[in-house]
Chains A and B, each alone.
Chain A
Amino acid sequence: MEPGKASGQPSDRTPGRIESQLLKGVLEYCVLALMRDEAKYGVQLLRELEETGALATGQGTVYPLLSRLRREELVVTTWRESTSGPPRRYYELSEAGHAALARFTAVWPGFRHAVDRVVIPGKGPGMHKEGRHREDQDR
């Protein structure tokens, strides 16, 4: 799993509560985003996900998610033969999947900024107010 490399954290910090809480909301869209440009098979998808560092838990936990995405028809799958080993099931975005990903992509920057503004010291409510104030004066 290359713990240190993949997560960039001391190995004694097993997948934290915070990470898994956060992932609940966004993992689905990270998975959709990974197949935005081309169809990918499961092992490939999970390897890439792991490399992004966006996966706090075992790879196996992504399969229930993939299963749901299939049921909701956000992704479609096709079997392709491989030169080595068994055939692979390739995952691909459907129309609905592209639309869902686009909606998320539109919402995400605003959401991220809002959280940054609340959470990061120096960007807190005080600064926020100052900014507002200045805006008001401009008007």
Chain B
Amino acid sequence: MKTKTDETLTREYLAAVERETSTLPAAARQELVADLGEHIAVALAERPGSVHEILREMGDPRAIAATAFQELGGTPAAPAPSPGRRRSPVWLSPALLVAGDVLPYLGGVVLAWIGIAARIAAVVIVCRARYWTAAQKWTGLTLAVIVPVVAHLIWYFSPVPHHGSAAEPVARWTLVAVVFLLTLAGAGTLWRNRRRA
């Protein structure tokens, strides 16, 4: 142990660097190990007998590996760094919200279901997007989704005896108009407060 040669110590050190950089692109890794090897050889020629000191100066192989990942690509945990999540354009969710409100009134079960799907998609997109703060998301979605949905549910399930009454069309179209305006307000809020993400 105490009589390890310079060569052995150097080889062990470089092997440790190689181990720590196993997910680095091969060319970058070879270059790094070669650079470090050259450095040690030159330093040894200038200061014979001080291999321990030289290796200590070089530092922890893990620190070198960490820097290498930053500088030369690759990551220790995820070998294939994804180029970032694909983002939907900022106008998409406001548009979906408005479409989700309007489509069911254009008639047909299919359009009604597409409308519901559009609303759900909009909610998911807004929740995951980075264009808005949490508070802005809540405001937008409360106006455009939560209140309208609750209003619809109340309309369909309330025991209030308005169904079939003379006042029904008036009440119904008032509700439709109010919900539409709320949806527009919610979508508009999101659009106005969008931030460059």
Which A residues contact B (CB, under 8 angstroms)?
1, 24, 41-43, 46, 50, 57-61, 63-68, 82, 84-86, 88-89
Contact = CB atoms under 8 A, between A and B. Distances in A.
Interface residues of B, number: 29
Contacts of A58: 57-60, 63-64
Contact of B41 (A50, A67, A86): A86
B39 A46 contact: yes
Interface in B29-76: 31-32, 35-36, 38-39, 41-46, 53, 56-61, 63-64, 66-68, 70-72
B73 to A, nearest CB: 9
B28 interface: yes
B46 A63 contact: no
Contact of B63 (A46, A60, A84): A60
30 contacts: A1-B57, A41-B42, A42-B35, A43-B42, A57-B63, A57-B67, A58-B59, A58-B64, A59-B57, A59-B58, A60-B36, A60-B61, A60-B63, A61-B63, A61-B66, A63-B35, A63-B64, A64-B64, A64-B70, A64-B71, A64-B72, A67-B28, A67-B31, A67-B32, A67-B35, A67-B68, A67-B72, A68-B71, A86-B38, A86-B41
Given A61-B64, A61-B67, A85 B58 contact: no
A24 B71 CA distance: 10
Contacts of B39: 42-43, 46, 59-60, 63
Interface of B: 17, 28, 31-32, 35-36, 38-39, 41-46, 53, 56-61, 63-64, 66-68, 70-72
A91 to B, nearest CB: 11
B36 A43 contact: no
A84 B70 CA distance: 35
A57 B70 CA distance: 15
B58 to A, nearest CB: 4
A72 B51 CA distance: 32
Contacts of A41: 42
B35 to A, nearest CB: 4
B44 A85 contact: yes
A50 B54 CA distance: 13
Query: Most B CB atoms within 10 A — which of A46, A66, A67, A89?
Result: A67
Contact of A61 (B44, B45, B59): B59
Nearest to A50: B57
Nearest to A61: B67
A43 B59 contact: no
A93 to B, nearest CB: 18
B45 to A, nearest CB: 2
Contacts of A65: 67, 71
A65 B59 CA distance: 15
B61 to A, nearest CB: 8
